[in-house]
Amino acid sequence: MTDHDFITGLPKAELHLHIEGSLEPELMFALAERNRITIPFATVEAVRAAYDFSNLQDFLDIYYAGANVLQTEQDFRDLAVAYFDRAAADGVVHAEIMFDPQTHTDRGIAFGTVIAGLLAGMADAETRHSMTSKLIMSFLRHLDEEAAFATLAAAEPWLDRIDAVGLDSSELGHPPEKFARVFAAARGKGLRLVAHAGEEGPPDYVRQALDLLDIDRLDHGNRSLEDPVLTARLARIGMTLTVCPLSNLKLCVVRDMAEHPIDRMLKAGLRATINSDDPAYFGGYIADNYRAVAMARGLDRNDLALLARNSFLGSFLPDDVVAKHLATLDTYVGANA
């Protein structure tokens, strides 16, 4: 079996995926036409050519603009179905997907429209691919605490279908402490907690996510490595890091894939996982991300299996389900190592 096929077939979970970031230019055009919305691009190629980012904000500006074509429940369903189909082809058996309700409610789309469409896509993935999934509702950190509380209130009727809250968007200047109270309220409602930290922001933002938000999982976390004490702490507590290599390259978090710290993270004892973040914008889905770091950092099949193993251990699945996935993974690796 080739390394390419080994990675594709490796049973894995995806833990860091923004569903709005899986909007491929082809679907963007189709939805623009269906909803009679004009987009500032003439062709699919012109859209792709615009995906040349110098930093996170460059990307976010175009990502929020792209989301404007999403209008109806069917649009959100189509978006989710397209992602799950693609993820299934990459060996994903479980996905914990983020959505940004404020991106939609702030332009007049009802919370219920967004979540009903996504839940329909999740049900379709279960039926057609036996793929399980969970929803993470992310707060936009460039907006204020009051807006996050309003979003949590809007989610109230759907809380039994939402597993966790997250924190994303522009990191610099918007430290986790800004959202300590809303995260505590979400915890009070029985939700798990994740947050982007240490993508562009300093190690102190990761510390705040631990100490002030009490996160269950850390999205990105790359810059933790600048602080050996913090790194040792993350390793000691078994914190899962959802690392996104192609995102890191496209957003200039790393200069070159050859400098990606994934193997340093594993050596430091961190529970690192591989994920695609916003695959339509960053040039690849989850298996492309595994392949990119495998090639650039010389990861062998045992390293790749460890990353997949970490994805199940870091998921919000119950222990008995995690154990089943790990057994399947062990069988696969035993047969193909």
Ligand X SMILES: Nc1ncnc2[nH]cnc12
3-state secondary structure of 179: helix
Does residue 250 interact with ligand X by CB under 6 A? no
- 6 or 21: CB nearest Zn ion: 21
Please check whether residue 280 is in contact with residue 310, taking contact to mean a CB–CB distance below 8 angstroms.
Answer: no
Backbone angles phi, psi at 331, to 5 degrees: -60, -45
User: Which of 90, 277, 289, 308 forms a contact with Zn ion (CB under 5 A)?
Assistant: 277
Count of Cβ atoms closer than 10 Å to residue 267 Cβ: 9
Please check whether residue 140 is in contact with residue 100, taking contact to mean a CB–CB distance below 8 angstroms.
Answer: yes
Tokens of 149: 């509380």
199 among known catalytic residues: yes
Residue 43 Cβ vs Zn ion, minimum distance, rounded to whole Å: 27
DSSP letter assigned to residue 277 = B
Does residue 14 interact with Zn ion by CB under 5 A? no
Does residue 278 interact with ligand X by CB under 6 A? yes
Catalytic residue among 171, 199, 226, 259, which? 199
* Total residues in contact with ligand X, by rule CB under 6 A: 10
Does residue 169 interact with ligand X by CB under 6 A? yes
The dihedral region occupied by 283, where left means phi > 0, alpha psi between -120 and 50, and beta the remainder, is left
Does residue 56 interact with ligand X by CB under 6 A? yes
As a whole number of angstroms, the distance between CA 130 and CA 14 comes to: 15
104 is known to lie in a ligand binding site: no
CA distances from 288 to 90, 91, 301 (A): 9, 12, 15
Tokens of 180: 């300590």
Strand blocks (E) in the chain: 12-18, 92-99, 132-140, 164-168, 192-197, 217-220, 240-243, 271-274
- 14 or 277: CB nearest ligand X: 277
277 is known to lie in a ligand binding site: yes
- Return the residues of window 14-33 that contact ligand X according to CB under 6 A: 18, 21
Site string for ligand X, 122-161 (x = CB under 6 A): ----------------------------------------
Does residue 167 interact with ligand X by CB under 6 A? no
Q: Which does 56 bind (CB under 5 to 8 A by kind): ligand X, Zn ion, none?
A: ligand X
- Residues in the annotated binding site: 16, 18, 196, 277-278
Residues recognised as catalytic: 199
- Residues in the annotated binding site for Zn(2+): 16, 18, 196, 277
Binding-site ranges for Zn ion (CB under 5 A): 277
